[in-house]
Chains A and B, each alone.
Chain A
């Protein structure tokens, strides 16, 4: 059966040119970048070349890029590294309720370590209000972390406005740009953030390579101690093939960014417009300020997992919110924070598109998805008025 992959926020296939760029570093160019002979120097040069390619994607300086193993590591590094480095100035951190677990759980670690963390509320579309940020700042605040765009609901946050407020109080700003880097323009100069996380596999690069942008002159406590890799800020022998692949993927992403957005947005809108005509299906996240290939919904009276299984039987591969929440069969904290009732939040589903999705694939999805909903509602006790039925949430596409 043909597979229709609509889960590009989970991960992406490798671009063939990326794989090709990596191959020598699995084979003949196997050197350790710290070795002083030719093998080592070649590996070191390859890493530095990749650093330049990744920096160019976000308009940063090469020295401001620290390679990590994952977006989660970059997020942990940013939160713990800055909070600890600045703890003599204050022990208060602000994070939004839209964050990935790698930010939220790092924040919880800080709480257990004697820091105070304030969780920024969001509105029904998932936006953090910069005025609320301003109200929650204290003289102890040293760091604010707000995700650039949520992979669960696609909403793109007003980072620049938050940075503007933070700078008035000498507070650093980190943004988790894992879902956005390589998918929409991410310009360090324009955003003004001090730290930014990204991951290669979100833009057709390999898993196992990611990066944290750290503005030049920023002190940060390392997450991993050891040798002098990454200028003594992230120890461990580098994953050279993956880093090389990340560099190539960044180069390809930068060159094709606009055409990718132009291709994906009409496909996304086709899904959203079709589902707007299905009863009691609600778009989650903002209708306009959202990721180009991202369509997410809450479907009343049905569990997300049931939809996933029936769709998978038809070859359609999607997700019911974040991978973590989906595995735990828990209502997404992100959806709950947007005021969506827990019952409705269980009916969450996310379609995230990529360049391998043809327009015909979208036609198949928009024909099959309403049929799956109809089928599941036929057997849902809630749809027949059983149990404690909750009313629909404050989603944007409610009819």
Chain B
């Protein structure tokens, strides 16, 4: 897993405590709103996102930038691809 610091997101979505698979549904919903090259930050406490979000990025042509740990949740960073 790639861990990152100081990524500057264009949009942030807070889904802490929301149940699986909201991390994928919100991800898809938010990415539709972004322009190619823009970065989405997703805040979640769901461990399964470590596997699901990078996989989703591979399948959909978006770039998984990495994850930052906070005390109670994780911040995932995704850059919108061009396709």
Chain A contacts to B: CB under 8 angstroms: 81, 85, 88, 217, 219-222, 225-228, 231-233, 235
Q: How far is B22's CA from A219's CA once the two chains are assembled, in angstroms? A: 14
Q: How far is B16's CA from A106's CA once the two chains are assembled, in angstroms? A: 22
What 0/1 readout, one digit per residue, does chain B (4-26) give for beta carbons within 8 Å of chain A? 00000000001111111110010
For chains A and B in complex, what number of residue pairs have CB atoms within 8 angstroms?
33
Q: Other CB < 8 Å A-B pairs besides A222-B17, A232-B19, A232-B22, 7 of them?
A: A81-B17, A88-B71, A217-B14, A219-B16, A222-B18, A228-B21, A231-B22
Nearest A residue (CB) for B19: A232
- Contact of B72 with A by CB under 8 A: yes
Q: How far is B22's CA from A293's CA once the two chains are assembled, in angstroms? A: 43
Which of A85, A217, A228, A235 contacts B17 (CB under 8 A)? A85
> Which 9 pairs of residues, A with B, have the shortest CB-CB distance?
A232-B22, A232-B18, A232-B19, A221-B17, A219-B16, A219-B17, A228-B22, A85-B17, A225-B19
Evaluate whether A228 and B14 lie within 8 angstroms (CB atoms) in the complex, with A88-B71, A235-B19 already known: no
Evaluate whether A222 and B72 lie within 8 angstroms (CB atoms) in the complex, with A217-B14, A228-B25 already known: no
Nearest B residue (CB) for A87: B72
Structural contact, B18 and A231, CB atoms closer than 8 A:
yes
Q: How far is B46's CA from A221's CA once the two chains are assembled, in angstroms? A: 12
Structural contact, B72 and A232, CB atoms closer than 8 A:
no
Residues of B contacting A81 in the complex (Cβ-Cβ under 8 angstroms): 17
Interface residues on B, range: 10 to 19
Question: Interface SS of chain A: helix, strand, loop or mixed?
Answer: loop
Which of B19, B20, B21 contacts A233 (CB under 8 A)? B19
Structural contact, B71 and A220, CB atoms closer than 8 A:
no
Q: How far is B20's CA from A233's CA once the two chains are assembled, in angstroms? A: 10
Q: How far is B15's CA from A231's CA once the two chains are assembled, in angstroms? A: 9
Q: How far is B21's CA from A81's CA once the two chains are assembled, in angstroms? A: 19
Q: How far is B22's CA from A233's CA once the two chains are assembled, in angstroms? A: 9
Q: How far is B55's CA from A187's CA once the two chains are assembled, in angstroms? A: 44
Nearest A residue (CB) for B15: A232
Q: How far is B17's CA from A235's CA once the two chains are assembled, in angstroms? A: 13
The minimal Cβ–Cβ distance linking B81 to chain A, given in whole angstroms, is 25
Q: How far is B70's CA from A9's CA once the two chains are assembled, in angstroms? A: 46
Residues of A contacting B72 in the complex (Cβ-Cβ under 8 angstroms): 88
Residues of A contacting B16 in the complex (Cβ-Cβ under 8 angstroms): 85, 219
Q: How far is B15's CA from A222's CA once the two chains are assembled, in angstroms? A: 12
Which among A217, A221, A228, A233 has the greatest number of chain B C-beta atoms within 10 A?
Answer: A228
Q: How far is B19's CA from A99's CA once the two chains are assembled, in angstroms? A: 30
Q: How far is B16's CA from A232's CA once the two chains are assembled, in angstroms? A: 10
Instruction: Pick 21 A–B contacts, CB within 8 A, sort by A.
Output: A85-B16, A85-B17, A88-B71, A88-B72, A219-B14, A219-B16, A219-B17, A221-B17, A222-B19, A225-B19, A226-B19, A231-B18, A231-B22, A232-B15, A232-B19, A232-B20, A232-B22, A232-B25, A233-B17, A233-B19, A235-B19
The minimal Cβ–Cβ distance linking A50 to chain B, given in whole angstroms, is 21
Residues of A contacting B71 in the complex (Cβ-Cβ under 8 angstroms): 88
The minimal Cβ–Cβ distance linking A381 to chain B, given in whole angstroms, is 57
Residues of B contacting A219 in the complex (Cβ-Cβ under 8 angstroms): 14, 16-17
Residues of B contacting A233 in the complex (Cβ-Cβ under 8 angstroms): 17-19
The minimal Cβ–Cβ distance linking A377 to chain B, given in whole angstroms, is 56
Q: How far is B56's CA from A109's CA once the two chains are assembled, in angstroms? A: 39
Residues of B contacting A228 in the complex (Cβ-Cβ under 8 angstroms): 19, 21-22, 25
The minimal Cβ–Cβ distance linking B72 to chain A, given in whole angstroms, is 6
The minimal Cβ–Cβ distance linking B65 to chain A, given in whole angstroms, is 24
Nearest A residue (CB) for B43: A219
Q: How far is B17's CA from A127's CA once the two chains are assembled, in angstroms? A: 35
The minimal Cβ–Cβ distance linking A232 to chain B, given in whole angstroms, is 4
Q: How far is B51's CA from A182's CA once the two chains are assembled, in angstroms? A: 46
Q: How far is B14's CA from A217's CA once the two chains are assembled, in angstroms? A: 8
Structural contact, A220 and B17, CB atoms closer than 8 A:
yes
